[in-house]
Amino acid sequence: MRFEYKVEGGDFTQAGYAASQVKKSLKQLGVDSSVIKRVVVALYEAEVNIVAHAYRGVIYADIESSGIKLKLVDEGPGIPDITRAMTKGFSTASPAVREMGFGAGMGLPNISENADSLLIETEVGKGTTLNIEIRF
């Protein structure tokens, strides 16, 4: 089962849509609720990262019998220093984004804590791709 969602940079009104849709599908499939929670956290954070930092992106969610593979491909500024970006509390979010309660430097750490595997490919000036896997 494959889902695809487009995400526009800066459009917080739609942030969380993909996470909400995937959650509904996993519930219908009877996936364990503790696993669903981990998927939801990881996907929501990754989705918000595209909205907060990139120009646009596409989310691919592949649900298989053994788990879920999420691939989030964005066109954006890229991440110059992944180690810093993974540090709790480090953020490059704008003041406006922070005022909304986003950009607290918890997104990537939250993804990492909830995923069974996380692979980040990034090129400064071009964009970032996140590959997240969570097993059922």
Positions touching other proteins (CB under 8 A) are 12-13, 15-16, 19-20, 23, 37, 40-41, 44-45, 48, 100-102, 104, 106-107, 110, 113-114
Q: How far is the CB of 12 from other proteins (least distance, A)?
A: 6
Alpha helices (H) in 10-70, listed in sequence order? 17-28, 33-53
Nearest CB to other proteins, comparing residues 1 and 104: 104
Sign of CA pseudo-dihedral 60, 61, 65, 66: positive
Minimum CB–partner distance for residue 70 and other proteins (Å): 15
Q: Which is nearer to other proteins, 40 or 120 (CB)?
A: 40
Check residue 29 and report its DSSP letter: T
User: Least distance (Å) from other proteins to the CB of residue 43?
Assistant: 9
Q: HSE (CB half, 13 Å, CA atoms) of 114? A: 21
Backbone angles phi, psi at 5, to 5 degrees: -130, 135
